[in-house]
Amino acid sequence: MGRVITYREALGEAIKEEMLRDERVFLLGEDIGIYGGAYKVTAGLLGLFGERRVIDAPLSESLIVGAGIGAAIVGLRPIVEIMYIDFATLASDQIINQAAKFHFMTGGNVNVPMVIRTQEGSGRSAAAQHSQCLEAWYAHIPGLKVVLPATPFDAKGLLKSAVRDNNPVMVIEHKGLYTLKGEVPLEEYTIGIGKADIKRPGKDLSVLTYSKMVHFCVQAAEEISKSEGIAAEVVDLRSIRPIDEEAIQKTAEKTKHVLIVTEANKTCGVSAELFAKVYELVPSVKKVVRLAGKDVILACSPVLEKFSVPSVDEIKLGMMNTMGLTEKELSYD
């Protein structure tokens, strides 16, 4: 039985339920306790679980992630929070050189069961250092898992799986989705990490995407279905490491026309990886088009910000382009 709650509430529920289920789960992050989190995901948890399990951290990102690793090594299951993915740069060593590599470097003797929660993305005029989509950095690193939920249902199920995973998992939320509402069951459920989800079925065209762009793509697909009679299938990857190759192959084989949409900028982004993967998995594919954020630095001005990342209109153009129905090319200028 479901009810409608927000993305923020779904994440909060996942954390609460996991903390109730497993005494080893605790929270460490900046302003997560008294303040309830910069985006209020952890609101109320300090009151429920106390300062032992909900720890407001000093502004020490490297310590936050490193302490999570140390606590995980001695048997706990920390959920650490980095307020903005842009700040994760301050903890890069702990994420990339430590958390990701510990299990391997010890020959498999040590596990690091830890969740690194953070959020990314544009749409709030937060400017150059609070709006980036840096998921490609982490997806590049063997040893990490990287998930980016797009809906309340996925957010809850994926975060719960992340807590139960024996590896470091980055859960990258989108700051533009916290107020999004969606149906979430009352019953316990989890979503396997690495499983894509078809958010809108279709036979003519495949759209590979994740996070907030899922919603733009679904809207574009609805509109183009009405205006052009094209049935676009929107595949929400949900996880970019591991990535669901089976789902990519299946949809690309079916439609032979693939549009890739990411908010993250184009060069060396996840869109480039997906572009290559489609050709590797389905060499007979007819056309693949990629639509990513422009290779620019995000600005505060809403006009500039909006222009920098894909819009519903651009996605529709991308769909037309992929189907060979327009001469007009996507522009990155």
Under the binding rule (CB under 8 A), the answer on residue 161 touching another protein is no
Task: Establish if 89 lies at the interface with another protein (CB under 8 A).
Answer: no
Least distance to another protein, CB of residue 244, Å: 16
Q: Does 106 bind another protein (CB under 8 A)?
A: yes
74 binding another protein? (CB under 8 A): yes
Name 278's Cβ contacts closer than 8 Å, sequence gap at least 6. Answer: 208, 248, 252, 258, 260, 285, 288
State yes or no: residue 239 binds another protein (CB under 8 A). Answer: no
Burial of residue 62 (number of CB atoms within 10 Å: 0-12, 13-18, 19+) = middle
Owner of token pair 């909900």:
54
| Strands lying side by side in the sheet with 168-174 | 54-56, 25-29, 77-82, 114-120, 168-174, 145-147, 239-241
Helix (H) or strand (E) holding 232: strand 232-236
Query: In the range 128-147, which residues lie near another protein by CB under 8 A?
Result: 142-143, 145
Q: Check binding of 190 to another protein (CB under 8 A).
A: no
Judged by CB under 8 A, which of 66, 176, 202, 269 binds another protein?
66
CA–CA distance from 294 to each of 139, 166, 207, 219, 237 (Å)?
20, 36, 19, 21, 21
The strand pairing partners of 194, in sequence order, are none
Q: Which of residues 166-185 bind another protein (CB under 8 A)?
A: 166-167
Q: Is residue 21 a contact point for another protein (CB under 8 A)?
A: no
Tell which one of 97, 227, 267, 301 touches another protein (CB under 8 A): 97
The residues, ordered by sequence, that sit 6+ positions from 47 with a Cβ below 8 Å of its Cβ are: none
Q: From the list 22, 48, 60, 192, which residue makes contact with another protein (rule: CB under 8 A)? A: 60
Give yes or no: 130 in active site: yes
**Shortest distance in whole angstroms from residue 134 CB to another protein:** 20
3-state secondary structure of 256: coil
Residues 274 and 260: beta-carbon distance below 8 Å: yes
Nearer of residues 83 and 180 to another protein, judged by Cβ:
83
**Residue 67 within binding range of another protein, rule CB under 8 A:** yes
Structure tokens at 311: 């819009």
How many of the chain's residues bind another protein (CB under 8 A)? 42
Residues near another protein, by CB under 8 A: 26, 28, 52, 57-58, 60, 62-63, 65-76, 78, 93-94, 97-98, 102-113, 142-143, 145, 166-167
**Residues carrying an active site annotation:** 130
